[in-house]
Structure 1
Amino acid sequence: MMEVAAGHDERDVVLRADSLSKRFGGLLAVQNVSFTQYAGEILAVIGPNGAGKTTLLNLLSGVYRPTSGRLWLLGRDVTSDAMEARCHAGLGRAFQIVRPFPEMTVHENVTVGALFGKHGTRLPEAREQAYELLERTGLAAHADKAAHELTLLQDKRLEVARALATRPQVLLLDEVMAGLRPAEAQEAVALVRSVRESGVSVLFIEHLMPVVRDLSDRVVVMDQGQVIASGTYREVTANPQVVSAYLGTETELHA
C-alpha cells in the first residue's frame, strides 16, 4: 500500500490507485500508475495526447479492468467491480462527449441519474433531487426543455448534473471544459468549485493550463502511460521533465 501524505491520515483517503496497468495487445497504455486522492481535494491529471489519461479514467470508473494493479474507493477494494457497482459505491463520472437522452427533458435526464445512483430511490424522491441539482448547476430555467435544445455550456452542466444525481463522493470529470469559450470555462470552473464545496472530491482531466492552475489542489502528470510528476501546480510546472514532455516553453505555459 502507498504511504499517506503528511497532514493526512488513512481516513482522509477517498481514492487510491496502486500500480495500475492496462495492456491492449502489444500496447501498454497505462503502466504502474499510483496516486492517492484525499477527501475534499480537486486533483488534476494532465499530459500530452496519448499519455494514457482517458485510459486511466476508464480504469478508475470501471470501463476497463486493469491488467495489473489495485484500486480502492473509500477504503474498499473495487478493482474487480463493474461500473454500476462503483457508481453505487460512490464514484461518479461526467464524460467529455456529452450524450444525454436527446428527446427527454433536462429534468428527466437528471432524474434518470438519481434513480440509477442509489438502490431503493423512488421516483418522487428522484424527481425532487433532480430539481435541486438543476438549481445548483444553473439549469432550473431549462428543466422542461428537450436536452437537444441546450447550448454546449448547458450540455456540460447537464452532464455534471447527471453525474451528481448518482450522489457520488468522488466525481471524475473528463475534459468538461473542452470546446468552451474562456468566459464559459470560468463558469465551469465555478461549478466544479461548488461541487467540491458540497463535499464531493473531484478528479479531472484537462488540457487548459489556466484552468488547471485555478482549480487544482494537486496535479498528476502523465506521459507515455506513466506518472512522471505529481505535486502542486507550481511544483509540476517547474519540473524540467514536465516542461519537456508537455508544457513547452515558459511563454506557452503562461499564455
Structure 2
Amino acid sequence: MKGLHRLPPLLGLGLVAALLVLPFSGNAYLTTFAFTVLIAYILGQSWDWVAGEMGYVNLGHYAFYGIGAYAFAIVLVGGSPFWLAFVAALGVTAVAARLLAVPLFRLHGDYFAFASLALLPLLEVLAYNLTPITRGADGIVLPVAQVLQPAYLIALAVCVVTFVVTLRIHGARFGYALKSIRNDEQVAETVGVRIAPVKRRVLVLSSLFGAAAGALQAWQMSYIDPATVFGLNVALAPIAMVLFAGSGLRYGPLIGVLLLASMQQWLLVSVKGFQATLYGATLLLIGRFMPGGFLRAKWVRRVPGLAEFGREHHEHATASAMQAPGQAGGELPLPTLQVAGERPLIELQGVRMQFGGNVAVNDVSLSIRAGEIVGLIGPNGSGKTTLFNCISRVYTPTAGRVLFDGQDLADLGRDGIARLGVGRTYQIPRPFSDLTVQENIAIPLMFGANPLSPRDALREARAFVDYAELGPRLYDRADALSVQEKKALEFARALACRPRLLLVDEVASGLTPAEVRRFVEHIRHVRDRYGITVIWVEHIFSALEQVVDRVIALEQGVLIADGPLDAVVRNERVLATYLGAAATAPQASAPPLLIRGVA
C-alpha cells in the first residue's frame, strides 16, 4: 500500500513527459486539443484556490481570463514584444483583482457567488462599448503567426507551476489560513489569522493564472471579442470540470479537466445535436449521486489505485505529519507570565452592547487582576457570552471601553486581540471541522505573536493534544470527535494561542464528574504554572468553588454581584434571580450543585 502513494506523482511525471513531446509529433489537431486542456486546467485549478481551499465560490473567475486576454492583445497589437504584453496582462489583471477584492469580500456565501458572476456580463458590456480601447464587437485581431508550438510549451510550463503552487499552498501557513477561513472565519480571526489580507492575496494569485491562460489563448487564437472571453457559455466550463472530479482535492481539478475535456471533444465529433444535453446530464448525475465529485464516491475510495487520487487534505497532511519528528508530553510550550502587582489585566468601563432595542450588556464595569481565576455566572440571557464576545471583539461594544493591560482594544481587530494574548473557547464547540486535531491546535501557533512554521507548529501542537488527553485522536478530523472531545480540543486550541487571558465558556457542561475534576485541575494548573488569567462561565458550582478566586454575577446584562463565591451565592438578588430560594452555598462534601442554562 505504501507504494501506491507514489502512483499519482509517477503518473503525473509521465503525463508531463508525454505532453512535452506532443507538439513535436507533427499532429496539429492533438496539439491544439491538448492546448485547450492545459488552459482549462490552469483556469480550473486557480479557481479552486479560492473555492476549494478558502470556500468562496467565485463564479466570475473567467473575468480574469478576459481581462488578461484583452490587456495582452492591446499591448501586443501596439507593437510590444510578447514578453512585455504577457507581463502587462498579469499586471493589469492583478490590479483589477486587488480592486475588486474590496467590494467582493464584503459579501459571503451566495451573495459573493452571484456578485462575482455579475462581473462577466458587466465586463462584456464594457468591452462592447469601450470601442476606442477594445474595438467593440469587431474584436481585436492579433498579428497572425504560427505560435501554436511556443504557446503550447508556455502553457505546459504554466500548468506545472500551477500544480507546484497548489502543493505549496497545501503545506504552507497561507494554505492553513485559507482552510481556517473555509471552516469558520470568525474563529480563524479569534486564533490570530488576519483574514482580509489572506482573501486579497488568494484572489490576486488566482487572477494571475487566469490572466496567463487568457493571454496564451488569445495569442494562439490570434483573435478575441467580448463574447469569447467573457461569455457565460464558456466561463463556467472549467468550474464544472473541477466540480466533476472533486473541488478541494489535490488531483481533483487535473482529473476533472482531463476526463470532461476528453468527453466533450468526443461528443462534438461523435454525437450530432445532443452533445450539450449529454454533457449537462453527466454533470447532473455526478451532482446527484456523487456529491463532492466522483473521486469522493465510495466505490472510488475502495479501489486502491483510484483512492490515491481522492485523498482528502487531512489524509495528505497526516501522512506527512507521521513522517516528521514530534514533540509530545511533558510541559506545555507556554511562557511563564508575571502576575505580581495590583494593575488590572482586563478592565471594562461602562461596557454596553445593544442589538436594536435589546440591551444584552448594560453599563458593565469591572476589573480583573493578572493571575486571577474568576467565575462568571447568571441565568439564561444574562449576557455572559455577549460579554466574552465584547472582550474578544466578536462584537464591537455599543458604548464603553475594554482595556487590556492598560491598552484600549477599540482599534484592534479580533486577530490583533488574539496576538495580544486573549484566547477563548465557545459555548457550542466550533473546531475547524475538516482539519485534524493536530492541525486545529497548530493554526494558532502559526499565527500568534511569535508565529511558527507549519512543521514546527504541528510538532509543538502534540504537547497540547496530550494535555487535553486527545493523543489517540491526533490525526482524526475534528468533525469525527464527540462533543466532549470537541470541548477538550477547543480548550487546547485556546491554550495554543499562548494567552495571557483565557475566556472559558461552558467547557465543563456535559462532562462526567471525573472529567470535570480533570478540567478543574487544568484550570488551576495553567494559572499556577503559567500565570494565565482565567474568566470561566460555568453552571457547575462544585467545579467553580474548587478553583475560582471570585465570582461575578450578571442579570439581564447588569452586574449584580462581585466577590468570593460563598458571598455571591448568598446574595439576595442572586438567590432571587438565579439560584432560587432553596439554594445554599455549596460545601466541599456536598453533591454538585448544577444550574442548567445557556447565556
Matches within 5 A, 1:105-254: 105-197=436-528, 198-251=530-583, 254=586
The CA deviation at 1:237 is 1.1
| CA–CA separation in structure 2 for the residues paired with 1:144 and 1:226 | 44
Higher helix content, 1 or 2? 2
Letter in 2 for 1:70: R
Higher strand content, 1 or 2? 1
The CA deviation at 1:194 is 2.1
CA contact (8 A) 2:575 2:583 kept: no
The CA deviation at 1:224 is 1.2
Letter in 1 for 2:565: Y
Residues 251/236 of structure 1: CA separation in 2 closer, same or farther (3 Å cut): closer
Give the unaligned 5+ runs of structure 1: 1-6
The CA deviation at 1:94 is 0.8
Residues 153/187 of structure 1: CA separation in 2 closer, same or farther (3 Å cut): farther
Matches within 5 A, 1:15-26: 15-26=346-357
Matches within 5 A, 1:85-124: 85-124=416-455
CA contact (8 A) 2:342 2:369 kept: no
Residues 182/19 of structure 1: CA separation in 2 closer, same or farther (3 Å cut): same
| CA–CA separation in structure 2 for the residues paired with 1:40 and 1:138 | 25
The CA deviation at 1:103 is 3.0
3-state SS of paired residue (2:472): helix
| CA–CA separation in structure 2 for the residues paired with 1:236 and 1:187 | 25
The CA deviation at 1:253 is 5.9
| CA–CA separation in structure 2 for the residues paired with 1:87 and 1:21 | 22
Per-residue deviation, residues 184-214 of structure 1 (Å, max 9, x unmatched)? 2222222222222322111111112222222
Q: Tell me the residue number matched to 2:342.
A: 9
What TM-score do you get using the length of structure 1 for normalisation?
0.90
What TM-score do you get using the length of structure 2 for normalisation?
0.40
CA contact (8 A) 2:554 2:560 kept: yes
| CA–CA separation in structure 1 for the residues paired with 2:418 and 2:384 | 20
Q: 1:61 aligns with which of 386, 389, 392?
A: 392
Q: Tell me the residue number matched to 2:371.
A: 40
| CA–CA separation in structure 1 for the residues paired with 2:484 and 2:541 | 19
CA contact (8 A) 1:19 1:34 kept: yes
The CA deviation at 1:143 is 1.4
| CA–CA separation in structure 1 for the residues paired with 2:499 and 2:464 | 13
3-state SS of paired residue (1:221): strand
The CA deviation at 1:249 is 2.7
The CA deviation at 1:102 is 2.7
| CA–CA separation in structure 2 for the residues paired with 1:75 and 1:134 | 33
CA contact (8 A) 2:569 2:584 kept: no
CA contact (8 A) 1:91 1:169 kept: yes
In the alignment of these two chains, the number of paired residues is 247
3-state SS of paired residue (2:410): coil
| CA–CA separation in structure 1 for the residues paired with 2:358 and 2:522 | 37
3-state SS of paired residue (1:118): coil
Larger gyration radius, structure 1 or structure 2: 2
3-state SS of paired residue (1:134): helix
Identity among equivalent positions (%) equals 37
Letter in 1 for 2:554: M
CA contact (8 A) 2:434 2:479 kept: yes
The CA deviation at 1:17 is 0.7
CA contact (8 A) 1:153 1:184 kept: no
| CA–CA separation in structure 2 for the residues paired with 1:146 and 1:54 | 27
Report the aligned-residue RMSD: 1.8
| CA–CA separation in structure 1 for the residues paired with 2:427 and 2:444 | 17
The CA deviation at 1:151 is 2.9
Q: Which has the higher contact order (CA 8 A, sep 6+)?
A: 1
| CA–CA separation in structure 1 for the residues paired with 2:570 and 2:540 | 17
| CA–CA separation in structure 1 for the residues paired with 2:448 and 2:489 | 16
Q: 2:361 aligns with which of 14, 22, 30?
A: 30
| CA–CA separation in structure 2 for the residues paired with 1:180 and 1:60 | 26
CA contact (8 A) 1:115 1:166 kept: no
Residues 125/213 of structure 1: CA separation in 2 closer, same or farther (3 Å cut): same
Q: Tell me the residue number matched to 1:73.
A: 404
The CA deviation at 1:61 is 0.8
Per-residue deviation, residues 104-153 of structure 1 (Å, max 9, x unmatched)? 22111111121122254222331232112122222233212222332332
Give the unaligned 5+ runs of structure 2: 1-339, 587-592, 594-599
Letter in 2 for 1:233: L
Per-residue deviation, residues 24-45 of structure 1 (Å, max 9, x unmatched)? 1111111111111111111111
Please say which of residues 116-125 and 203-212 is displaced more in the overlay: 116-125
The CA deviation at 1:176 is 0.8
| CA–CA separation in structure 2 for the residues paired with 1:125 and 1:35 | 39
| CA–CA separation in structure 1 for the residues paired with 2:535 and 2:551 | 10
3-state SS of paired residue (1:117): coil
| CA–CA separation in structure 2 for the residues paired with 1:212 and 1:92 | 20
Letter in 2 for 1:145: D
